[in-house]
Structure 1
Amino acid sequence: MALKLWLRLLACSTQIETEIRKRLRARFGITLSRFDYLAQLYRHPEGLRMSALSRYRMVTGGSITGLTDELEKEGLVLREPSPEDRRAFQLRLTAEGRRVFERIAAEHEAWVIEFFSDLRASDRKVLYELLGELRVHMAARQAAPSSSTASSELA
């Protein structure tokens, strides 16, 4: 049953992501990657170093550089020397970048609400709580040394 549950979670996540990608492209002409990039900078109005943005998005520095070049040309992102390290850059949304992101994010949120609208509110709440419990259990497992790691360290 656990394997079926995991596969169902994965399938649902994939279906939602596919639909969001399709709608972002059709409605705004952007990729999910661009949306995620803008979202990270929106959450950090003080700006982020390129290396931090790369870590948050779990992508290479090269892909961040490419997206930054494009978004900077479009006037959505500012790239400034980092005050702490002259070799690094701090990225921030421009006023136009914030405005564009807020418009896209409002529709994105409406889409996600739509995706879950056929579930009863009580079912959404239970699902949210159960997935929260799963995250807590997974975090505890990841924090504890695994038995396979422990046994290989003994060898």
Structure 2
Amino acid sequence: MSDLSKRRLKLWIRMLGVTRTAENRLREFLRVQHGTTLPRFDVMAALYRRREGVTMSELSRMLLVSNGNATAVVDRLEAEALVKRSPSETDRRTVFVTLTEAGLAVFEVLAADHEQEVDAIFANLSEGDIDQLTEVLKRFGKQ
């Protein structure tokens, strides 16, 4: 292995560590402060972005999870009246999922607090650091 190869491996491990640390902090924050989970937040965020609703298959693809995982989260959110399912007018096998008005209100509070927590997690980064990291990650994403 070359020195550069070893450095890339160390970078990969460091990136994983930062990601896991941030994700664990967000999970704990959502659990303690809001009594919810990161998967629930992710489902609500996806539905918030697509207000017209999405099919369960689309939702699974958006979240990169199985249909079963998405269905379990949607079932719980529906039981709390935060989302609703509506059959398609053109294909009765297709069901659309949308946030309810209550779901929108809950998510807007969650999203604002989530943003503040992410801001706190990365508070030691300057604007220049953020710009530099963003540029590097954009280049990496184009591979």
Greater mean alpha carbon deviation, residues 54-63 or residues 12-21: 54-63
Give the number of the structure whose alpha-carbon radius of gyration is greater.
Answer: 1
**TM-score with structure 1 length normalisation?**
0.85
Indicate the SS of the match to 1:80: strand
Secondary structure at the residue paired with 2:129? helix
1:56 to 51, 58, 62: 62
For 2:91 and 2:20, how far apart are their aligned partners in 1?
Answer: 39
Letter in 2 for 1:83: E
| Higher relative contact order (CA closer than 8 Å, sequence separation 6+) | 2
User: 2:108 is matched by which residue type in structure 1?
Assistant: E
Question: Number of matched residues?
Answer: 137
Q: State the Cα distance separating 1:84 from its structure 2 match.
A: 3.4
Find the aligned partners of 1:107 and 1:99 in 2 and give their Cα distance.
Answer: 13
Instruction: Quote the Cα distance in structure 2 between the aligned partners of 1:16 and 1:116.
Output: 9
Amino acid at match of 1:33: P
TM-score under structure 2 length normalisation: 0.92
RMSD, aligned CA: 0.9
Runs of 4+ aligned residues of structure 1 deviating over 6 Å after TM superposition are none
Aligned to 2:129: 123
Letter in structure 1 aligned against 2:136:
L
Flag structure 2 segments of 5+ consecutive residues without an equivalent.
1-6
Which residue is equivalent to 1:74? 80
